[in-house]
Amino acid sequence: MSLIVRQATEADLPDIYRYIHALAEYEKAPDEVVLLIADLEQSFFGQSPQVYCLLSEVDGVVTGIAIWHLNYSTWLGKHGMYLEDLFVDPKYRGKGHGKALLIKLAQICIEKGYPRFQWWVLDWNEPAIDFYKSLGAVAMDEWTVFRLTGSSLKKLATEGY
């Protein structure tokens, strides 16, 4: 059994889709996933992809995903990497698959000159928090995430408040 990390291909879309749903289940939000495989295909392989996906794999079996995109720091004047989703099949957790994905993402950051690599993690997800800290990641506790969606987003766009 040899663990590899590679770029996703269109043939991997069903596995990616399945793992996104599994992540939503784990995060206690299964009904919030509304995407279709066609959405993933457009995002990763459309005319101008802005989202990327790495896979961990053993013997042709996809064991995990890392979905990422660029962000930007005005203070640094450079792009950085934002990890949208990291999910490893529970059967493969604790065996280096998540770490291998993060190592590859860190290598991409260094190769591309991205000085920051960041992501969110749910406050209750202690196993993930402990894992990230073990790799040297630092929680940005002084920041609070804000989000506009649905009717609030529409109201701001159309009424200005």
Tokens of 132: 């990230």
Q: Domain range spanning residue 32? A: 3-159
**pLDDT score of 1:** 76
Annotated active-site residue 26? The verdict is no
CA 143 to each of CA 1, 9, 120, 139: distance values in angstroms, whole numbers, following the listed order: 41, 35, 11, 9
**pLDDT score of 160:** 87
Alpha-carbon distance 22 to 25, whole Å? 5
Is the predicted pLDDT of residue 153 greater than 80, yes or no?
yes
Count of domains for the chain: 1
**pLDDT score of 39:** 97
**pLDDT score of 114:** 98
Per DSSP (E only), the strands in the chain are 3-7, 51-58, 61-73, 78-88, 117-119
Q: What is the CATH number of the domain that holds 15?
A: 3.40.630.30
Provide the 10 A C-beta neighbour count for residue 129: 15
> pLDDT-derived band of residue 83, with 50, 70 and 90 as boundaries?
very high
Mean of per-residue pLDDT scores for the chain: 96
Closest of 115, 132, 103 to residue 72, by C-alpha? 115
Tokens of 25: 């289940």
Tokens of 9: 């291909």
Is the predicted pLDDT of residue 70 greater than 90, yes or no?
yes
Tokens of 111: 């190769």
Q: Of these residues, 17, 19, 82, 132, which one is catalytic?
A: 132
Alpha-carbon distance 99 to 104, whole Å? 9
CA 105 to each of CA 29, 70, 86, 119, 142: distance values in angstroms, whole numbers, following the listed order: 26, 12, 11, 12, 25
Alpha-carbon distance 64 to 94, whole Å? 12
